[in-house]
Chain A
Amino acid sequence: MAAHPGTSSSSFPVTSAPAVLAHATHARAPRGLLRLCVLLPLALASLLAACGGSSGGGGTSSNTLVFGAPVSLTGSLSHEGTDTLNGYKLWAETVNAKGGIKVGNTSYQVQIKSFDDASNPTTSTQLTRQLITQDKVNFLLGPYGTTATLADETIAQQYKIPMVEGNGAAHSIFAKSNPYIFGVLSPASEYAKTMLQAALALPTPPKTVAIISANDSFSVEVANAAKAFADSNNLKVTYFQQYPANATDLTTVLTALKTSNSGGVPDMILGSGHENEAIVTMKQAKQLGINAKLYGFTVGPALPDFITTLGGDSNFVLGSSQWTPQVKYQGQDVFGTAPNFEQMYKAKYNVEPSYQAAESAATGLAFQFAIEKAGSIAPDKVRDALANLDVMTFYGELKFDASGANVTKPMATIQIQSGQVVTVFPSDIANAQLKYPTPAFGSR
């Protein structure tokens, strides 16, 4: 701000506005008025531009890198969206406390600029555009959820600004040959597979499985991958059914599921959907007396309110998780290890970090490593560095394939045991044994 008025190029609007007014009073009325009408708005516009330019130019002029993020702080995704923003903020604070991002001899402080998209993908794209064109952010962090990510990545591509996201796992996000999108999380195909692998690794594995899924594209994609995996691993799929997303009543599905297997209830019930549906599945399974040997849900068990809502009935339930505080990676990043991240997160927010928070923090780490490796803050150079990135972090390995997806990091299978979430698979990162089979409702 201080440097601007002194430069010669900007002297015209500042000095000419009073001059125009003075001139107008002397000239003949029509001509003067005309000139006033033309020149005054021009002068005001340049004044505004001068002010706007200096206050909003933090992205490029000072040693601050601005990361734009449209996130859902209200509406149906507010829960996950808040975790996402918390992860971004913790990363920014931690990086800044450790001296910022180093590019050559310059250290850049990190600033997160975020807006609430109200859980609306259309709003999310508008905010992404606004972040790029008006707020002049240097880079983009992803929104929450597949739908918003799908919409926002096209804006990133349009303006050639790299976006690293941690909350959209659908194949469709990476199937668009968009060179500017990178996802740190494991893709959709892995979500249910990890639970089936965990089940098949048991001494006496389940022989039959019922797979139910919500009918949104992500849940269907996960369910289809699960069915393909079960089919090729001698696990008989006795029931494979979609229901409407956000269904409040699943008795019909559960009644059909119960009789789908000639030898009684299938050994395993696998749900691909959302937390509320997972809770309804468990509540109504109890009401209808459906006792399987194993229950697994892609979304739900990892979230704290799954346990508080279901109480003892949540025990023995499997879930898949992008990350747990128990994973044993030795990272080169500012957090280092999962327990360290957990401790810092709890110190700041007073809650356990969800995997959404961890993967969101990991998106920042990907940028940090790529920028430092590129030795530049030019979007294209950073993009190229992201494409060739291969680093270990507290969250797992960050390495992107040609489509921008992270296929290197495995997913974890968690189980709720005595009201606590423990990691049971894969064995090299597990901190507990998978408990099997599940006792009947009422004795868990």
Chain B
Amino acid sequence: MPNAQILVNWLLIGSFYAAVALGFSLVWGIMNIVNLAHGSLLILGAYVAYFAFTALHLNPFIGIILAMLALFVVGWLIQYIAINRVIRAPLLVTFMLTFGLDLLITNLAQQFFTANNRAINSSLAGVNLTLGAIVIPVQNVLAALIAVLLTAALSLFLARTRTGNAILAVGMDRDAARLMGINIARTYALTFALGAALAGAAGAMLAMTLQFQPVDAGQYTLFAFVIVALGGLGTPWGALAGGLLFGLATTLSGSIQAIGPGLQTTVAFAVLVLVLVLRPRGVLGKAFYS
């Protein structure tokens, strides 16, 4: 019976990890920007959901939508004001820029919101389904479903809509896309804003199911990086595969007596090394984000 519980734990945390990495994967794949501010955008999303719950008394799932809307605007502004100016610069420049943004956002959050730990305690948090010895927390299941839905929605949006196709086209060949009449600056702003909105959604799920404070930002950026490297760039499903693989590595290694939870991060990173050696593009990686 504990094995079934481990399976449940894995699927729930793995889906959350997928949500953490989804926006990061989009921005990296299309814009070739390793967005080091991803974690701090995620934490901003957590604050939006937190204040929507504590100050406005809104359902945390409405908080997810609010966090996405707010972070969409923040992402658009960041791209428009800062990143568009260095978009053709070498990778190192955008690296430094997003690193600076990360420090800025994290420290501003610490200044205005304090370093206190926070979490959302909704009445749904204690609702479980019990099947024999297995306990399934309903709120986490809903959050996991939303994570999968967001992945599917992003995939459909990119494949089926004109705007989505424009984003893919810019990712494949910026200059050719421009010649076809696509507004590059606006497409980049939209892409980054979408990435930020997805980070916001993950932040809202974080506030709901776990807890957060400003300095946690770096850890979630690292998670996103590892998950995308595991799952592969090029498709939103890569983030889901990477999230599930990362979750599997931590959950399973922690549950095996001989390894134990103390080494679960070590095992997850060892799996990363293994995947990079055997399949450098990641599990589902493609050459282009298409």
Binding site for B on A (CB under 8 A): 74-76, 78-79, 215, 241-244, 246-253, 255-256, 259, 275-276, 279-280, 283-284, 286-289, 304-306, 308-313, 441-442
B148 CB-CB contact with A under 8 Å: no
* A442 with B262, Cβ < 8 A, contacts A280-B211, A287-B140, A289-B135 known: no
Enumerate chain B residues within 8 angstroms of A79, measured Cβ to Cβ.
Answer: 114-116
Knowing A280-B211, A306-B117, the reply to whether A248 touches B219 (Cβ < 8 A) is yes
Which A-chain residue is minimally distant from B116 (CB atoms)?
Answer: A305
Q: Are the CB atoms of A244 and B210 closer together than 8 Å? A: no
From the candidates A243, A249, A279, A442, name the one contacting B13 in the complex (CB within 8 A).
Answer: A249
Q: Is B187 an interface residue (CB 8 A)?
A: no
A-B contact pairs, 6 of them (CB 8 A): A241-B262, A283-B209, A287-B139, A289-B135, A309-B117, A313-B121
B-chain residues with CB within 8 Å of residue A248 when the two chains form the complex: 210, 216, 219
Stretch at the interface among B65-73, B85-93, B247-255, B270-278: B247-255
Which residues from B are CB-within-8-Å of A252? Answer: 6, 9, 250-251, 254-255, 261, 264
| Pairwise interchain contact A275-B5, C-beta atoms closer than 8 A | no
- The answer to whether residues A244 and B262 also contact, given A251-B251, A275-B117 and a CB cut-off of 8 A, is yes
Residue pair A289, B117 in contact (C-beta under 8 Å): no
In the complex, the chain B residue whose C-beta lies closest to that of A279 is B211
The reply to whether A276 and B254 contact each other, CB–CB distance below 8 Å, is no
User: B6 is contacted by which of A255, A279, A312 (Cβ under 8 Å)?
Assistant: A255
Give Cα A313 to B120, complex, Å. Answer: 12
Shortest B123–chain A CB gap in Å is 9
User: Which residue of B6, B210, B251 contacts A283 across the interface (Cβ within 8 Å)?
Assistant: B210
- The listed residue with most B CB atoms (<10 A of its CB), out of A75, A243, A248, is A248
Among A250, A252, A286: residue with most chain B CB under 10 A = A252
User: Distance (Å) between the CB of B40 and the closest chain A CB?
Assistant: 14
On chain A, the residues within 8 Å of B216 by CB distance are 248, 276
Closest residue on chain B to residue A212 by CB atoms: B261
Q: A251-B9, A276-B211, A279-B119 are in contact. Are A215 and B262 (CB under 8 A)?
A: yes
Q: Are B119 and A283 in contact (CB under 8 A)?
A: yes
Give, as a whole number of angstroms, the nearest-CB distance from B39 to chain A.
12
Give residues 122-173 of B contacting A (CB, 8 Å): 125-126, 128, 130, 133, 135, 137, 139-140
Residue in contact with A242 in the complex, picked from B6, B209, B211, B260, CB distance below 8 Å: B260
B contact set with A: CB distance below 8 Å: 2, 5-6, 9, 12-13, 107, 110, 114-119, 121, 125-126, 128, 130, 133, 135, 137, 139-140, 209-211, 213, 215-216, 219, 250-251, 254-255, 260-262, 264-265
Task: List, in ascending order, chain B residues with CB within 8 A of A289's CB.
Answer: 128, 130, 135
Which residues of the other chain, A, contact B211 by a CB distance below 8 angstroms? Answer: 276, 279-280, 283, 309
User: Are the C-beta atoms of B128 and A308 separated by less than 8 Å?
Assistant: no
Which chain A residue lies CB-closest to B5?
Answer: A255
Dominant secondary structure of chain A at its interface with chain B: helix
B130 touching A244 by the CB < 8 A rule?
A: no
Of the residues A244, A251, A259, A311, contact of B121 by C-beta under 8 Å: A311
Chain A residue nearest to B255 (CB atoms) is: A252
Bound-state Cα–Cα, A304 to B118, Å: 11
Query: What 16 new A-B contacts, CB under 8 Å, besides A244-B264, A309-B116, A309-B119?
Result: A74-B107, A79-B116, A243-B264, A249-B210, A259-B133, A283-B210, A283-B211, A287-B128, A287-B139, A288-B5, A289-B128, A304-B116, A305-B116, A309-B118, A310-B121, A312-B121
Bound Cα distance A256, B139 (Å): 22
**Chain A residue nearest to B9 in the complex (CB):** A251
CA distance A74 to B107 in the complex (A): 8
When distances are taken between beta carbons in the complex, the residues of chain A under 8 Å from B261 are: 241-244, 247, 250, 252-253, 256
Residue of B nearest to A252 (CB): B254
Given A241-B260, A287-B137, A289-B128, do A78 and B110 touch, yes or no (CB 8 Å)? yes
A212 to chain B: closest CB distance in Å?
Answer: 9
Collect the chain B residues with CB atoms within 8 Å of residue A310's CB. Answer: 119, 121
Query: Closest residue of chain A to B128, judged by CB?
Result: A289
Bound CA–CA A243/B265 (angstroms) = 9
- Residues on B with C-beta less than 8 A from A249 are 13, 210, 250
Across the interface, name the chain B residue whose C-beta is closest to A242: B262
- Give the Cβ gap from A331 to chain B, nearest Cβ, in Å: 31
**CB of A286, distance to nearest CB on chain B (Å):** 5
Q: Which A residue's beta carbon lies closest to that of B110?
A: A78
The listed residue (A247, A255, A286, A308) touching B125 by CB distance below 8 A is: A286
Q: In the complex, what residue of chain B is closest to A253 when comparing beta carbons? A: B261
Nearest chain B CB to A20 CB, angstrom units: 47
Bound-complex Cα distance A246 to B255 (A): 18
Q: From B6, which residue of chain A is reached at the shortest CB distance?
A: A255
- A312, B110: Cα distance in complex, Å: 26
Contacts of A283 in B (CB 8 A): 119, 125, 209-211
The 10 closest A-B pairs by CB, nearest first: A252-B254, A287-B137, A305-B116, A242-B262, A251-B9, A243-B261, A79-B115, A289-B135, A311-B121, A279-B211
Q: Which residues of B contact A253 (CB under 8 A)?
A: 254, 261
**Which residues on the A side are within 8 Å of B215 (C-beta)?**
75-76
Q: How far is the CA of A309 from the CA of B207 in the complex (A)?
A: 10
Report chain B residues within 8 Å CB of A215. 262
